Structure 1
């Protein structure tokens, strides 16, 4: 059976502790359910570990609609006083633009395809 090469991949999500960072790996196209699960897991791990530096590896993510970026803003409004320092690693301009919309407050930063630079930035001033 052949699959349509242009079809969106189902989203896959992995959120875990990686050394002194929380690591979020996203593949495929993000949807509301996966985004909610992602945010919940990040918050749970942040509370359990005390870690507040989060690395989002979105290099294998397909750019979603703008509604997902706006939903991330709403989810962040529910963080209360929790401050997260987040680095978002993206493969290109479209996803970078959406990431800047999604993570527009605080000192979050977008990196183009450079995990090492994102990790170094997260650890600055630690």
Structure 2
């Protein structure tokens, strides 16, 4: 059975999560869709939650990670900025290095933890 346990890195700025797995997923979805609302739908998040996460990210970094355009005849849009793409790449690299660094410990935890039950239909 594949190891289903994992770690998640969160980058804090004081008490605020400046970047983490949810924000990374949202940025990737914005990149793919060109829209905050479409990205939110794609990852099962409310538009309000997605917008709040985008605002938080843009406030935590010196340059915005997402640039938005207000709606018009064709509607608004959003795009991940160059720094946003760099943050995604560095975050994914950090996540990979962290997982590799703790792989032996995670394997040990896995031997001591109850395995998840199969939900049947999956």
Sort the TM-score into its range (normalised by shorter chain).
under 0.3
Greater helix share, 1 or 2? 2
Greater strand share, 1 or 2? 1
TM-score normalised by the chain length of structure 2: 0.24
